[in-house]
Amino acid sequence: MLECWRWYGPLDYISLEQVAQTGATGIVTALHEIPYGEVWSLEAVVERKALIEKDPTLGLSWQVVESLPVHEHIKRGHGDLEPLFDNYRQSMRNLAKAGIRTVCYNFMPLLDWTRTDLAKPLPRGGHALHFSAPRMAAFELFMLGRKQAEDDYQPSTIKEARIWFEGSTGQERDELLASIMSGLPGAYERYDCQTLAQALAQYDGIDRNVLRENYKRFLEAIIPLAEELDMRFCVHPDDPPRDILGLPRIVSNAQDIKWILDAVPSRSNGLTLCSGSLGANPGNDVPAIAKQFADWVFFAHLRNVKKYDDGSFTEAAHLEGDTDMVALVRHLLNEQSRRVQEETSDLIPFRPDHGHALLDDLSAKAHPGYPLIGRMRGLAEIRGLIAALN
Ligand code: DNO
């Protein structure tokens, strides 16, 4: 498997020189500054690649695009989609021309990963990302005024939510909103309560079946070209893997994954195995999912979560938490050897996904969830695990 590192490009607080010292060699990045729906020009792609590969002593290369974002209109099936599909396909051609062939994307309506707390103190020091069901309920019910959210939470969670809300300061509510919004990377619209309510209203009438139709239309528009260009598209699971804010989520479990692979069967239509996203749903056995879909895993995000009964979860250290990381990595390594024997395929790229903020991370700037030292710890642990299993 190929050790990779997510780097946010020139927007990142972490330099390529620092990335090189973690030991990773593959860079996972995107042209985050380009608004959703616009073409990634060949010049811009080539320029970013040259920047990554500028200093050969660092030994870095751009291996995976994360993400080539899918415009909201495509997810909603709104308006004339052909120009958006054309732009997407043009970006694909430009990436392929530059030799970048693995592309991660997601099909989550409106939001990307969602947390309520970006700096939950850990018992022995350091911070983790955290999702609190009561805080999310407080946000939905009392800040956003989404009445139907009452059906999505246990009564005890709603009670806790009310207590928190009534005792919270304006600043705490602002922080909650900012945390919930911070999963959206790059050039995007960030919502406040009012604009989020408006954006949610645009999803009225879009249930999971409609969203699936829209997703299938997207796959049909891009996968034939991906085949032609020998590209691997790998959908990222929903995070958390369940409906949120009343929005349907359709990439949350094994049945969903199967539906996607069957919707447009192709060697170019595959999966980003994100253990942390899938692992937040108690119904998901992540190593079993990895085993079931092993030959469709084109990219892996490795991290762990600790779940609580009310639906809350905390990001755990990479080898701690509820997912058996040893079993999971074993399945991926088995698949890796199968590919090497049968297909002479490339190594499966993986990255340590997220990390705790530890030591000097606590005083350094980083994108939420993406500190230097915590992620390096995660990578080092997984590297050790791989060496032991090999
Ligand atoms: C979170 C990431 C996601 C991922 C996108 C892919 O840390 O794994 O934001 O990049 O969902 O489209």
3-state secondary structure 268-330: CEEEEEEHHHHHCCCCCCHHHHHHHCHHHEEEEEECEEEECCCCCEEEECCCCCCCCHHHHHH
Tell whether 164 and 144 lie within a shared domain: yes
Query: 0.85 cut: is pTM over it?
Result: yes
Identify which of 218, 236, 275 to mutate to test ligand 1's pocket (most ligand atoms within 8 A of the CB). Answer: 236
Question: Does residue 370 form part of some domain?
Answer: yes
The confidence score (pLDDT) of residue 190 equals: 75
The confidence score (pLDDT) of residue 243 equals: 87
User: Any idea what the Cα angle at residue 282 is, between residues 352 and 321, rounded to 5°?
Assistant: 40
CATH number of the domain that residue 360 is part of: 3.20.20.150
Tell whether 72 and 124 lie within a shared domain: no
Pick the range with the lowest mean pLDDT from 30-34, 185-189, 299-303: 185-189
Question: Does residue 193 form part of some domain?
Answer: no
**Predicted confidence (pLDDT) at residue 287 exceeds the cutoff of 90:** yes
**Predicted confidence (pLDDT) at residue 187 exceeds the cutoff of 70:** no
Question: Does residue 314 form part of some domain?
Answer: no
Domain-ending residue, one of 188, 216, 249: 188
Residues 330-382 have pLDDT tens digits of 999 999 999 999 877 679 999 999 999 999 999 999 999 999 999 999 999 99
Question: Does residue 204 form part of some domain?
Answer: yes
Number of domains in the chain: 2
Tell whether 287 and 370 lie within a shared domain: yes
Q: Is residue 67 lining ligand 1, measured as CB closer than 6 Å? A: yes
Going by pLDDT thresholds of 50, 70 and 90, the confidence category of residue 188 is: low
> What is the residue range of 40's domain?
2-113+200-307+321-389
Query: Which atom belonging to ligand 1 lies closest to the Cα atom of 69?
Result: 12
Distance 159 CA to ligand 1 centre (A): 32
Domain-ending residue, one of 188, 209, 229: 188
Distance 184 CA to ligand 1 centre (A): 8
Where does residue 155 rank: exposed (0-12), middle (13-18), buried (19+ CB within 10 A)? exposed
110 within 8 A of 69, measured Cβ to Cβ: no
Question: Does residue 219 form part of some domain?
Answer: yes
Q: Is residue 104 lining ligand 1, measured as CB closer than 6 Å? A: yes
Identify which of 113, 250, 272 to mutate to test ligand 1's pocket (most ligand atoms within 8 A of the CB). Answer: 113
| Mean pLDDT of the region 176-198 | 81
Tell whether 259 and 181 lie within a shared domain: no
Tell whether 159 and 236 lie within a shared domain: no
Question: Does residue 385 form part of some domain?
Answer: yes
